Amino acid sequence: MKQVEIKALIKEVDFEELNELDRRLVEAAKEATRRAYAPFSKYNVGAALLLDNGRIVEGSNQENAAYPSGLCAERTAAFFASSSNPGVAFKKIAIAAWVDPGVDKDWEEGFQKNPVSPCGGCRQALLEYEHLYGDIEVMLYGRDKTYILPSIKSLLPLAFTDF
C-alpha cells in the first residue's frame, strides 16, 4: 500500500501585514458585502477579484425565495468578471462575510471573526478559471486573522478536472 499525503500551505496574517494592493482587494470584498441580497440567510458575503488587466471586479451573494436559485458571492464575481473581461486571467480573490452586528455596533464588528471559506461549488467554478489562466491567490478575510492560500487547487485537492 502507498499513502498519498495532501498538504496546503496557509499563511495567517493580520490585515496590517498586507501590502497596499492586497488591502485594497480585501476592502473591496468587504464593501461588496453591502451589496449582498441575503434576506433569507442574513449572511452577507463579498468577493473581489483582481484581474490581470488591473481591474477589480466584485460580487456578492444573491439569494432567491426558491433557495437553490441563488448564487454565492464568489461565483457572482467570477462569472461577472469572465463575462465583462473575457480571456483575462484572475490573479487574486478576496472574500469577506458580514452578519448584522446590531444597531449599537460598529460596521467593522459585523465581519466574521474567522476567515470565511468558499463552498465546494465555488471552489470548483474558480478552479476552471485557474486551469485556463494560472494560479489564483486566495485571501480569506476574518476580523481576527486573514488566511492566504497560493491557489484554488490548494483548497480543492483531488479536484475533478479531466473530462
- Establish if 63 lies at the interface with ligand THU (CB under 6 A): yes
Q: Considering the complex, what minimum distance in angstroms separates the CB of residue 120 from ligand THU?
A: 9
Residue 14 CA to its chain's centroid (Å): 17
Candidates 41-49, 78-86, 100-108, 128-136 — which segment interacts with ligand THU by CB under 6 A?
41-49
Gap between the Cα atoms of 81 and 90, Å rounded: 8
Q: Which of 58, 74, 130, 137 does the annotation list as catalytic?
A: 74
- Establish if 48 lies at the interface with ligand THU (CB under 6 A): no
Gap between the Cα atoms of 20 and 24, Å rounded: 6
- Establish if 70 lies at the interface with ligand THU (CB under 6 A): yes
- Establish if 43 lies at the interface with ligand THU (CB under 6 A): yes
Which residue pairs from 61-67 have beta carbons closer than 8 angstroms and sit at least 24 positions apart in sequence?
61/36, 61/37, 62/36, 62/37, 63/37, 63/38, 63/39, 65/40, 67/40
- Establish if 64 lies at the interface with ligand THU (CB under 6 A): no
Residue 74 annotated as catalytic = yes
52 or 64: CB nearest ligand THU: 64
17 or 120: CB nearest ligand THU: 120
40 or 52: CB nearest ligand THU: 40
Q: Binders of ligand THU among 94-153, rule CB under 6 A?
A: 118-119, 122
User: Is the four-CA dihedral 88, 90, 91, 92 of positive or negative sign?
Assistant: positive
Contact present, 26 and 94 (Cβ < 8 Å): yes
Q: At what angle do helices 73-84 and 120-133 cross, to 10 degrees?
A: 30
Binding positions for ligand THU, rule: CB under 6 A? 38, 41, 43, 45, 61, 63, 70, 72-74, 118-119, 122
Q: Mind telling me the catalytic residues?
A: 74
